[in-house]
Chain A
Amino acid sequence: MSFYDERDLPAPVDERWPGDRDELRECIAEADGSDPPLALIGGGEHVRPELLEGTDYVAVRTEEVDEVLSVDGYSGRTRVEAGCRWGKLRERLRGEGLSARRFALQPSDATIGGLLARNQPLEPERGEGQIAQNCIALSSVGPTEAEYGYLPAPRKASGPDFRYVYIGGEGALGAILDATLVTPPRREARLIAAEAEGFEQAVGVHEQMRRLGLSPDWSYWRMASGRLECAFHGPEALVEAACEDLRAAVDTEVEIDGTEAALDRRRELEDDHPARRSLSAADRALDATWRRSELAEVLAMSDVELEDVLIWSWARRRVRGCVKAGADRGSLEPFTRAAVDRPSGDEGEGEAWYEGVKQKIDPGDVLVDVS
């Protein structure tokens, strides 16, 4: 099965393989529009198949643009090329004594550029741990050789935040060349595993944590295993106290493990992350985001035979995860309807502002158009 088949993507008419950010820049800046449009493809996870359906396109594969450009342990920031895979970055941080604790679980083989460029039709929610929420700088290039750089300084009030032309932009307005992420020093960690047979139980444990003032760095629930796993990082005395308080507060069995176990478990979960395009393209699976209450309702009401439900991102009010049907994907319709980022099909139109900007930035239609 080809890379494209695995990801449910139509095959391109040609491929480009830049080797570093300079070659990626040239690839975009020097395209003159005489070829079919360019589609930026990292791990393939940000690309919506319907975007490329029926389109002749040239794939710009960024997987070799994958250097960790600099690691600044003092400021706790790391700059990577856009094609750097999450798993590579995570292991580098581990080696450097830094931490990915501010990020939700990500697929190991997803590229940083792809995770940023992926269009997520959702308002951000505090504490969700999206890559974009911890990206403090990026540089990019547009098809008219226009380069853009966002200064790596915390926050700014200097006008519109042009990073968001590229974040969520699916490569339609330019290519992200590199990004700088917040990666603070590693602290003590605890891995907690609690029994949670159903989604309601998993929600109950999270509610209990919220009442106790505990915010896990990541949290993962799998219906098939009946377990909720989460990790806390921080000063040893505080994470120890947090674990003991949680153990006392919940009425299920709680297992607690140390720092290395927490890091190892993160690696395992991310290596097998269900959001990997090659898995989620499977016919019987649906990746989506739901309000907690609405997912609970659908799960309670549904008579669909489910193979599994996996939730890998737990924000305050909503969860992100994957539902796998026992039979066909059509049976997942109630879950699709309940999702807050439900697929729009053909009903959504390109925003007027986007059309105007696209015309100005990419007059030659060098890059694929998301509308």
Chain B
Amino acid sequence: MNEPTVPTETEQIRDRLGALAEVLGEDRVLTADPDLWAYNNDCSPRGIILARAGRLDEHRPAAVVQPADEEQVREVVEWARRTGVPLVPYGAGSGVCRGAVPDERSVVVDLKRLDEVIEVDEEAAVARVQPGVIGYEFERELNRRGWTMGHYPSSLYCSSVGGYAAARSAGQLSSEYGKFEDMILSLRAVTGRGEVVETAPTGWHSSDAPGRGPNPTQLMVGSEGTLGLITELTVELDEAPERRRYRGFEFGDLSTGLEAIRRLMQSGVTPTVVRLYDPPDTLVKGGDDSEAGLMDRLRALADDHLPADLTDELREGARQARNAVARQVIGRPQLVNRVIDALGEASLLVVGFEGDDPRVEQRAEWAFDQLARRGVDLGPGPGEHWRKHRFDVSYKQSPVFDTGAFVDTMEVSTTWDRLEDLYRAVRRALTPHVLVLAHFSHVYPEGSSIYFTFVGYAENDEATLELYRRVWREGLDAVAEAGGSITHHHGVGDLKSAWLEEDHSGGTELFDALKESLDPDGIMNPGKLYEGRDP
């Protein structure tokens, strides 16, 4: 006689999904394997490594639900409170820190059906938008009316407005427009209590009388779904730019380039785009922001020498050979880093001015003149090249993973006085393990972010995952020791949890207080932010 089987946690959760199907509709409660695999990762490289290893079930959720409006979101949260099943919010899935990664005991809440641009108030220059709207679609709608949000992350085509708020995103034009937290005026969210909160403090966008207490907008922004699910955002708009001036400069070394952009940012003349590439990045990618730039170059070298009439079999053989070469290169990071370091010290700068006023040219000319005193004016070419390729990055990772290697990015920030020390400290920590490139791309009067790209390779999946963990551990330890912020615009997820107190000393107690107030049952995206573990 067979022993009665004990239902797994996933099965127990699925037994309770009927109530949700009644509210959302049967077809909006997904439990088929292909659907669940589609939500077992965001864009985090660790998840891609797992997928490459065939470990698709490792973060497979119990179910995926797709509410259509705020009321349905509220019903989902009420269900989660009743059942104790954790919810993991999921927008477009473009995050890279595992902020939207579930497990088999949780249900993913896909918010992409909340995809309406509710209102564009042209007199107030604000827009109300639902979280599932894709950044590109939103920007296109605004542009059609002569407006812009000024938020252009490289993931523009595959990221959602709600995600921008949830993870404190930054766009490529941040030097002028700021980060997303500077653009957002207020939001609505369903908290873990199942209550709708609106953070608009005035009658400007809300008919309610102002509540008392500090404005919680900036407490919900960046909370990555751990306190509630964002259902609406009100953002500030600007007139869409009509004029653009871009220019490239080459500096003899990184220090000279950094000094040039520090002086520019403190001059009172604010560029829209500033991107200074460190010497390895200048040499390897030449201003192409795609993490795959190096791989593209290796491939191009090989492809140039392949006859056009190869059979598919031979072409596949060539691909494998090419990948083997790439692995050999990436697998010797110390050597490769040393070689690249020895090949050149020049740093490339791309700087751009955009706006709808006649002074754009004047400001640009003044800035170009200042920059030319320290560097070589390369003309508009590098800027045009960058503009053409600036959204490639989110689509070109797969060639790297295809070789058996992995690629990831670490975006940190600090004030000018510590910037070069931070840069060197992180490079020192990473170069023994991975190939490291960097650029300085979100620049402010008081400091800058540094965007490190690293590419690594190990012999097998387990070794790759261990290398990946080690790189993050040693990298963020170095960031913390150098006094930098552990993340400028990618968020935390569970990847950087262990270092959160470095940015917010005493933050755990405040987070616990917020969590207890807004999510007393602990059902909102558990295991993220302050509840995360080692990478």
Contact = CB atoms under 8 A, between A and B. Distances in A.
Contacts of B170: 155, 157
B311 interface: no
Interface in B341-355: 355
Interface string B267-308: 111000000000000000000000000000000000000000
A2 interface: no
Contacts of B204: 122-123, 291, 340
B111 to A, nearest CB: 19
Contacts of A163: 218
Nearest to A72: B417
Given A161-B181, A370-B213, A154 B267 contact: no
Contacts of B3: none
Interface in A174-212: 182, 184-185, 187, 210-212
B215 A168 contact: yes
B219 A162 contact: yes
Interface of A is mostly: loop
Interface size class of A (residues with CB under 8 A): 35 or more
B509 interface: yes
Given A123-B201, A351-B197, A360-B512, A169 B505 contact: no
A195 to B, nearest CB: 24
Contacts of A357: 513-514, 517
Given A150-B504, A160-B221, A122 B201 contact: yes
Contact of B413 (A102, A119, A155, A361): A155
Interface size class of B (residues with CB under 8 A): 35 or more
Contact of A157 (B168, B186, B214, B357): B168
Contacts of A359: 517
Interface string B5-29: 0000000000000000000000000
B175 to A, nearest CB: 11
B81 interface: no
A354 B211 contact: yes
A256 to B, nearest CB: 17
B125 A316 contact: yes
Contacts of B268: 101, 184, 187, 233-235, 238
A156 B518 contact: no
Interface string B94-129: 000000000000000000000000000001110000
Given A72-B415, A213-B359, A317-B124, A354 B213 contact: yes
Interface stretch (B57-65, B326-334, B489-497): B489-497
A349 B197 CA distance: 13
Contacts of A74: 416-417
B366 A238 contact: yes
Interface centre among B211, B366, B446, B448 (most CB of A within 10 A): B446
Given A148-B505, A234-B269, A341-B202, A160 B359 contact: no
B516 interface: yes
B484 A153 contact: yes
A95 interface: no
Given A148-B510, A159-B223, A187 B211 contact: no
A237 interface: yes
Interface of A: 72, 74-77, 101-102, 119, 121-126, 136, 142, 146-170, 172-173, 182, 184-185, 187, 210-214, 233-235, 237-238, 241-242, 291, 293, 316-317, 340-342, 344, 347-361, 370-371
Given A156-B487, A159-B222, 17 more contacts: A148-B504, A148-B507, A149-B504, A149-B505, A154-B413, A157-B167, A157-B222, A157-B490, A158-B486, A159-B529, A162-B219, A184-B446, A210-B357, A238-B268, A238-B269, A350-B211, A353-B216
5 contacts: A121-B201, A156-B488, A342-B202, A350-B212, A361-B509
